[in-house]
Structure 1
Amino acid sequence: MKIFASIAAASALLALSAPASAQFAKPEDAIKYRQSALSVMGTHFGRVGAMASGRAPYDAKVAADNAEVVAAMSKLPWAGFMPGTDKGNTKAKPEIWTEQAKFKEYNEKLQAETTKLAAASKTGNLDSLKTAFAATADTCKACHDAFRNK
């Protein structure tokens, strides 16, 4: 039931994400939005990672459910990186706004890798899941290294 609720919430957020930047009353709201989306994505990604690394028992259905949430959530945070959200409670580096083409390239790569992760998770093959998880994790790390303060 929790997975269904997570998927439903992710679907609702996805439907609302296109006009999201117009809905932020204050920059702080956009920052909270992107941080929340990234947090949910990270939680579900961590669940897949626990199975991929052997820290949790592999369950193909649970892996697929969580990977689907990751793929859906990967589309959301970007609306929250609007002008004026470079200050405040954020770990975002200024390069996000000065190197927008590169940042967009990274977020598109993340979305592509999470789509591959979701597809791999549906095969029921743990080795495929491990490979897709590693590629997605590398993509996350590359973006964090370039655009996130520690």
Structure 2
Amino acid sequence: MAQFQKPEDAVKYRKAVMTLMGNHAGRIGAMANGRIPFDGKAAADSSALLETLSKLPWEAFVAGTDKGETRAKPEIWAEQAKFKEGSDKLQVETAKLAAAAKTGNLDSVRTAFGSVGQTCKACHDAYQKN
């Protein structure tokens, strides 16, 4: 927790990262689902950012950050190994999405995005309060 002066700083950091992840995933999802036209460069840019962002929030899930304005469930700290498996899987899946987006092939992006979405959902279902 050395990088965070107070527990609430860690909560703010991870919430900010998750907000950015949601924004970029939303952009890709809108293209993958046909709500907006596919733009290969935009998909590649957002996918690359999502890949980078997927590495960031985990260091902010430290002791003492389970209170206050957070939607994090206590299970995160009780099931740390399982939670880490989810974060690792997200990083793998976002890397696959970034690679797929570089091809400019919408079908590849759709498939990879589906895997990212399933990974996000599984973790949110298990570890995020509604």
Shared topology, TM-score over 0.5?
A: yes
Q: Match of 1:29, SS?
A: helix
Find the counterpart in structure 2 of residue 70 from structure 1.
50
Q: Secondary structure at the match of 1:84?
A: coil
> 1:139 maps to which residue?
119
Partner of 2:31: 51
In the other structure, the counterpart of 1:107 is 87
SS state of the match for residue 25, structure 1?
coil
Q: Deviations over 1:12-56 (max 9, x none)?
A: xxxxxxxxx312111000000000011111101100000000001
Q: Equivalent residue for 1:37?
A: 17
Choose which of 12, 22, 28 in structure 1 pairs with 2:8.
28
Q: CA separation in 2, counterparts of 1:90 and 1:107?
A: 18
Q: Which runs of 5+ in 1 are unaligned?
A: 1-20
Tell me, yes or no, if structure 1 residue 121 matches structure 2 residue 125. no
Q: Distance in 2 between matches of 1:22 and 1:112?
A: 27
Q: Which consecutive residues of structure 2, in runs of 5 or more, have no partner in the other structure?
A: none
- 1:82 paired to 2:39: no
CA distance in 2, matches of 1:22, 1:67: 30
Q: TM-score, normalised by structure 2?
A: 0.99
Q: Distance in 2 between matches of 1:143 and 1:54?
A: 25
What is the match of residue 41 of structure 2?
Answer: 61
Question: Where in structure 1 do 4 or more consecutive aligned residues deviate above 3 Å?
Answer: none
Report the CA distance between 1:66 and its aligned residue: 0.5
Which residue type is aligned with residue 113 of structure 1?
E
SS in structure 2 at match of 1:22:
coil
